[in-house]
Amino acid sequence: MLFYNFFLIFLLFISSLYSQEYEKNGNRTSWSLGPGIIWQKSIYKGTKDKIIPIPVLSVRKGRFSFNGINTSYSIYKSKKISYSAGIGLGFSGFSPKDSEYLSGMREKEFQLNFLNSAEYFLGPYSCGSALSSDVKDLDKGWGGEVFMSRRFALANSFLSLKIKGIYESSEKANFNYGVYKNEAVPGRPYYLPGEVLSFGADLSFLKRYKKTSVYILISLKELNKKITASPIVSKKRDLMFLGAYSFNF
CB atoms within 10 A of CB 175: 22
Helix (H, G, I), strand (E, B) or coil at 169: coil
Please, which pLDDT band fits residue 1 given cuts at 50, 70 and 90?
Answer: very low
CB atoms within 10 A of CB 121: 19
For 176-199, how does the pLDDT look when each residue is reduced to its tens digit (9 = 90+)? Answer: 899 999 999 999 999 999 999 999
Domain boundaries, the chain: 2-248
For 127-168, how does the pLDDT look when each residue is reduced to its tens digit (9 = 90+)? Answer: 999 998 887 766 678 899 999 999 999 888 999 999 999 999
Q: Is 52 exposed, middle or buried (0-12, 13-18, 19+ CB in 10 A)?
A: middle
Q: What is the CATH number of domain 2-248?
A: 2.40.160
Q: Based on C-alpha coordinates, what's the Rg of the chain?
A: 18
